[in-house]
């Protein structure tokens, strides 16, 4: 899209060999020391660490064709361990440290790795002794435990890594989000991951020699892992953040050109900016708020293809250069745009960041296809869409609007345990995603919802709750919103911050719902101040909503709410 990307080596250790040969002294990663000071690790040093770890893992019994599981927060050691295992011909399973103990243990038991590397004793404690007994060896990045290999001694002697793998052999195991049950494990080969890197670098030209990225999402997250490989292929460096709560703080120092995000991060980032604005005295606050709204109006007019008055265009451009400039530097002085994935981003958030001059390009993918399906990019975007299909993907819409994709990145049923998912492929080899979409002019793909979430309204139309939830999140005092698609249509509103009185909240919610036909509006909401969370089971680890979990947690209150709704009810609010 932005440049011609040469074919990359078809194994992941090959990417490291290529980068080390091209720029051995260039920064690969930037990591903090014990005192919190940041230091670069160049590609030669990183390669030597990988070689040392490969030697230690081989001594611990890791062999070609084995699996190794990593259950740990994001860290440099995580990536060192991954490349070391790959160089030995092993397949790397990333297990999210936010998974509950029973799920983490079940995944290790099911996938049968030869070696488990955990972040520390607490994470290791999530694995039952019976499961641990099946492992050839266990190592810890931090801390110690009886019978466990300490990572520091395991990876002590720098060495050149081996290259004992082939393009068609298993490289990575990724997991589905788990919105409808236990996460599914899908295995991808070295060649498939390299193709994903080619497609991403083709779309995002700003991941290039000398660029900076912030690695803050869990490395068990497939997209974050592949972005790190893209940085290796393109010549960028990654600042490694183990605690995601520090992502904004570190980004201000690192000054990335591109920031990989998820919608919830962007919502909280904007909310933090809004609260700081609210604390300013009116003479300072009001001009900034007016400038944001003027720039946002320009964005809306451009999105609709309408003429932007010259005076508005001039005023918005001047505001971005002056009064809005401090807001635009919230993640450093060099940020050009965000790339957001995992779930649709609310349109008001897209508009507000675009108004600041920081566009959010949405990326869309499936765990069953290692190549992202579609993404927007500079010069090729349409707000409200997920961009155009990426290189290597053939995308079509089925008769019912389901998005289907075919290409070399789609899981191969012949690899590892992938045969269990053969039923998600159509007879002609397309992956049925379960997402609904439509084509917009210019070849842009817009997602309209999930097939599993559709609700049949009294008017006979099938309705997706996603747009309603986006509108509700704009209501003052509403932090999170869930619409539960069964009759009568009700939902859950999570309140936070300065919660308005019930009458004011009712009026605001009513206004938000006026954009939807009467027969498609929820008629009641359960109010709560308890946030939806990963720990509570209502969100997946990549922050996708699990509606069934929300329904179960509030089952009794929701049932009571539904019983109070009559044909005459317009809007019922229940709760604090």
CA distance 159 to 325: 47
Contacts with 568 (C-beta within 8 Å, 6 or more apart), sequence order:
none
Q: Which of 58-67, 183-192, 393-402, 526-535 has the lowest mean pLDDT?
A: 526-535
pLDDT at 542: 67
C-alpha 242/C-alpha 67 separation (Å) is 24
Give pLDDT, residue 1. Answer: 46
Report d(CA 259, CA 223) in Å as an integer.
Answer: 13
pTM over 0.85: yes
Name the nearest CA neighbour of 547 among 478, 422, 413, 455.
Answer: 455
pLDDT at 182: 77
**Which helix (H) or strand (E) element contains residue 338?**
strand 337-340
Average confidence (pLDDT) over 373-384: 90
- The per-residue pLDDT for range 59-90, each reduced to its tens digit, is 999 999 999 999 999 999 999 999 999 999 99
185 forms bridges with which residues in the sheet?
Answer: 175
Average pLDDT over residues 462-472: 84
Average pLDDT in the 529-541 region? 84
Task: Tell me if residue 480 falls in helix, strand or coil.
Answer: strand
Token representation of residue 233 = 């292929």
380: its two tokens: 């090729």
Which pLDDT does position 320 carry in this prediction? Answer: 87
Backbone φ and ψ of 367, nearest 5°: -60, -20
- Pick the range with the lowest mean pLDDT from 77-81, 251-255, 270-274: 270-274
Highest mean pLDDT among 85-89, 399-403, 475-479, 515-519: 85-89
299 contacts 313 by C-beta, under 8 angstroms = no
Closest CA to 389 of 402, 376, 370, 408: 376
pLDDT per residue over 148-163, tens digit each? 988 988 777 778 888 8
Helix (H, G, I), strand (E, B) or coil at 219: coil
- Nearest CA to 476 among 497, 456, 452? 497
Element (H, E) at 285: helix 282-303
pLDDT tier for residue 473 given thresholds of 50, 70 and 90: confident
Left, alpha or beta for 460 (phi > 0: left; psi -120 to 50: alpha)?
left
Pairing of β 258-261 and β 337-340:
parallel
Measured CA to CA in angstroms, residue 60 lies from 110, 135, 149, 156 at distances of 21, 11, 8, 14
Question: Model confidence at 202, in pLDDT bands (50, 70, 90)?
Answer: very high
The answer on pLDDT for 498 being more than 90 is no
* Nearest Cα residue to 56 out of 11, 87, 19, 14: 87
Q: At what angle do helices 12-22 and 43-59 cross, to 10 degrees?
A: 140
For the chain, which domains are there?
12-256 (3.40.50.12780), 454-574 (3.30.300.30)
437, burial (CB in 10 Å: exposed 0-12, middle 13-18, buried 19+): buried
């Amino acid at each position: 899209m932005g440049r011609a990307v040469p074919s990359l080596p078809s194994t992941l250790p090959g990417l490291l060999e290529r980068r080390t040969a091209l720029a051995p002294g260039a920064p690969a990663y930037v990591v903090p020391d014990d005192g919190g000071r940041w230091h670069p690790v160049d590609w030669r040093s990183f390669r030597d660490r990988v070689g040392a770890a490969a030697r230690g893992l081989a001594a611990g019994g890791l062999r070609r064709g084995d699996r190794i599981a990593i259950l740990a927060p994001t860290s440099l050691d995580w990536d060192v361990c991954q490349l070391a295992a790959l160089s030995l011909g092993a397949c790397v399973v990333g297990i999210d440290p936010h998974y509950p103990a029973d799920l983490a243990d079940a995944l290790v038991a099911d996938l049968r790795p030869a070696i488990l590397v955990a972040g520390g004793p607490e994470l290791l404690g999530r694995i039952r002794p019976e499961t641990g007994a099946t492992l050839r060896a266990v190592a810890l990045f931090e801390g110690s435990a009886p019978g466990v290999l300490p990572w520091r001694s395991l990876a002590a002697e720098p060495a050149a890594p081996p290259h004992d793998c082939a393009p068609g052999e298993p490289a990575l195991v990724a997991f589905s989000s788990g919105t409808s049950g236990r996460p599914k494990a899908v295995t991808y080969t070295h060649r498939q991951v390299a193709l994903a890197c080619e497609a991403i670098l083709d779309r995002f030209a700003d991941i290039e020699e000398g660029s900076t990225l912030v690695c803050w999402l869990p490395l068990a997250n497939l997209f974050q892992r592949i972005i790190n490989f893209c940085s290796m292929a393109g010549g960028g460096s990654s600042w490694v953040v183990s605690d995601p709560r520090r992502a904004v703080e570190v980004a201000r120092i690192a000054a990335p050109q591109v920031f990989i995000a998820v919608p919830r991060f962007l919502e909280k980032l904007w909310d933090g900016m809004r609260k700081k604005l609210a604390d300013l005295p009116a003479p300072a606050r009001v001009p900034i708020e007016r400038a944001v709204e003027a720039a946002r109006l320009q964005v809306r007019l451009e999105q609709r293809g309408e003429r932007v008055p010259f005076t508005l265009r001039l005023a918005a451009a001047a505001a971005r250069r002056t009064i809005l400039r401090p807001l635009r530097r919230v993640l450093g002085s060099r940020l050009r745009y965000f790339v957001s994935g995992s779930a649709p981003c609310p349109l008001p958030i897209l508009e507000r960041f675009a108004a600041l001059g920081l566009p959010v390009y949405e990326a869309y993918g499936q765990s069953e296809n290692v190549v992202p399906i579609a993404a927007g990019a500079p010069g090729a975007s349409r707000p409200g869409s997920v961009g155009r299909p990426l290189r290597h993907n053939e995308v079509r819409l089925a008769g019912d609007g389901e998005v289907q994709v075919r290409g070399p990145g789609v899981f191969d049923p012949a690899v590892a345990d992938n045969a269990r998912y053969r039923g998600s492929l159509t007879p002609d080899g397309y992956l049925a995603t379960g997402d609904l979409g439509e084509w917009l002019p210019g070849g842009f793909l817009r997602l309209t919802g999930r097939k599993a979430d559709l609700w049949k309204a009294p008017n006979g139309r099938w309705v997706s709750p996603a747009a309603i939830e986006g509108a509700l999140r704009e209501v003052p005092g509403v932090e999170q919103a869930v619409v539960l698609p069964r009759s009568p249509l009700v939902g859950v509103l999570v309140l936070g911050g300065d919660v308005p009185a019930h009458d004011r909240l009712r009026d605001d919610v009513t206004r938000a719902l006026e954009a939807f036909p009467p027969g498609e509006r929820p008629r009641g909401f359960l109010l709560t101040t308890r946030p939806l969370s990963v720990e509570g089971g209502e969100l997946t680890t990549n922050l996708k909503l699990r509606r069934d979990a929300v329904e179960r947690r509030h089952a009794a209150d929701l049932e009571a709410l539904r019983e109070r709704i009559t044909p005459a009810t317009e809007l019922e609010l229940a709760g604090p």
